[in-house]
Structures are given as structure tokens and as C-alpha cells.
Amino acid sequence: MAENQGRDAPARLRVVVVDSSPLSRMGVIVALSGETDLEVVGSAGAAREATELVESAAPDVVLIDIALRDGDGVRTVTEVRHSRHAPQVIVLTDVEDADIVDAALVAGASGYLLKDVEPAVLAAAIRSVPRGGVALSPMIAARIVRSGSAMTHSLTPRERQVVRLAAEGLANKQIARVLGISDKTVKVHLGRIFQRLGVTDRTQAAVWAVKNLMREVPA
């Protein structure tokens, strides 16, 4: 019986923490220590060390401070996302510069959180991004919305529903259940959405939705 329970137990999400400050790294590790479905499998204090650790530890999610002392944090995001295991990346930083936020998201980050985030919110973000969610601190999200968008693409009402649900972190099967359509139809809608928006993946489409659609959701 115990053997079957062990085999059926869900795998924990593997997390790596990258921050130049030892105190910040330890703070994140402690904050996540009580989450039974998350496991910190390593931490690094430098950009080069981070890329090597990602290759060896094969994490699902990497938390990166964009202000690394020994390298370009945005470049590190790109390198991590294009590594062999291609983990999701959440920027966890004190840097609020709009240009850097945009650069990090374009580089492939699935989230941008400030270090004053509550531990429970951070844990929820880590769980969300492997499912296609986008994690943004409220202040960052508000700035993105206020900045507007130069994009003039027009989506159908159904496509707006699909991309909004994708931005909330729902997988294709979940979107299908919510909208009462098939998984295959969701995939078709997403393909059309990517084409209309000129993006290549769910994360980029979700970022567009946060900028342009989330303000339409009733409070």
C-alpha cells in the first residue's frame, strides 16, 4: 500500500534561485520551505554559475534577480530559457524600470515579481508558470496597462476569452472545459491568436493579454 502511495504522489516542482545576495537567496529558500509541492534544488549567486546549475539540476522554474553583479540579468534569462531543459523563469528583483521589465519579458521570462511579494503569492506564481501563466507584481502589471500598446490587432470575442484564460494560467484542457469546446478547438484558437498578435508562444500572448485585455475584466 505504501509503495503505491509513493508511486502515485505528484512530483514536486523543482526550483532554482539565482541572486547575488546570499541573504536574499536564503530568504527565498526559507519562504518556500513550507510548500510541500515545491523543492529548491539549488541556488547560485552569479550568472555563469546559474547557467551551469540549470544544466545540472534540471529545474522546472528558475527565480532570477535581474540585477546580477557579474552579468546581464536579461541575458541570463535568455540563456536559461534556451538551455537544454528550458525551464520557466520568474524575475524576482527590486528593479522596477519599465524598459528592463519589457526586456525581461521579451527575453522569455514568464513573470516579473518585486521582492516585497508575499511568500504565498510567490509560491502560487511558481506553480502557475509551468502551466502557461504569467506572474506580475500588481505595480508592474498596472504600469504595463497604463503604458498602453501600439498593437492594433483585433481578436474575435472567442479568441479574447481563450487568450485571457491562458493568461490566467489555465491549460488547454481547462480552457476547453470552461468554454465548453474541445481541446483541438482551443489549439486552433491559440494558433490564430499567435498569428494575429505576431507572437510565437503562450507566454508572449499572455503578456499581450495582461497589457490589453485584463483591464476589461470586471472587478
Of 87, 121, 146, at which residue does a domain stop? 146
Determine how many CB atoms are found less than 10 A away from the CB of residue 56.
11
Residues 64, 26 share a domain: yes
Of 146, 171, 189, at which residue does a domain stop? 146
Q: Write the CATH number for 200.
A: 1.10.10.10
Residues 138, 57 share a domain: yes
Would you tell me the crossing angle of helices 98-106 and 138-147 to the nearest 10 degrees?
Answer: 90
pLDDT band at residue 5 using 50, 70 and 90 as cut-offs: very low
Q: What domain range is 25 assigned to?
A: 2-146
Whether 62 contacts 50, CB under 8 Å: yes
> For residue range 62-93, what is the model confidence (pLDDT) as tens digits?
999 998 887 778 889 999 998 988 999 999 99
The total domain count for the chain is 2
**Side-chain-facing half-sphere of 180: CA atoms under 13 Å:** 0
Residues 173, 123 share a domain: no
> For residue range 48-60, what is the model confidence (pLDDT) as tens digits?
899 999 999 999 9
Return the residue matching grid coordinates 519579458.
105
Of 121, 146, 171, at which residue does a domain stop? 146
Whether 197 contacts 204, CB under 8 Å: yes
> For residue range 143-163, what is the model confidence (pLDDT) as tens digits?
665 554 434 345 778 888 898
Residues 105, 8 share a domain: yes
pTM above 0.75, yes or no: no
Across the chain, what does the average pLDDT equal? Answer: 83
Residues 31, 19 share a domain: yes
Measured distance CA(6)–CA(202) in Å, rounded: 33
